[in-house]
Structure 1
Amino acid sequence: MKDTGVVRRLDELGRITLPMELRKTLHLQERDALQIFVQEDKIILQRYDPCDIFTGESEDLVDFKGKKVSKNSIRKLAQLAGLRIEEE
């Protein structure tokens, strides 16, 4: 992990501001989505990359009840359920 030397305080709503230099370096734009992870006593921010909830694939995604599922997973689930899917 690389130390940036930047220290920020939380505001009254628990927010922090990422410095402009850091946003430029990481090519972050206003309204970009970030995922938040916790590892022991560390908070890790990572650019959000939607992926299949079953396999982690990030191609051919379909939104199902707020979750991302790849078409490949849907085919496999249909097979498990004994359903036959006709390809387009």
Structure 2
Amino acid sequence: MNEITVLDAVTAFADWMEPTDAELSAIESELPLILADVDLVDAQITAMDHAPNDVDARRVRRALARVLAERAKLTNRTAMVPAGGAA
């Protein structure tokens, strides 16, 4: 049987397991896309929750358009960064 030791509990929160500044920066740059994806899933869940109507369809279309726009912005932003990160 596997048991959790005190050492496991202490190392689970070690400094080396924290995200680096580069990882946090990447998450921050992707945050608009993440939020747009969340809005899309929310719109889809709302549309599935009851009989379909025009308002739900518009909400899903708008949310999908926002996801695509944010994805395009992110792609264009990362395409402009030179390989290797050197300027």
Structure 2 length normalisation: TM-score? 0.26
Which structure ranks higher in relative contact order (CA pairs < 8 Å, sequence separation ≥ 6)? 2
Structure with greater strand percent = 1
Structure with greater helix percent = 2
Structure 1 length normalisation: TM-score? 0.26
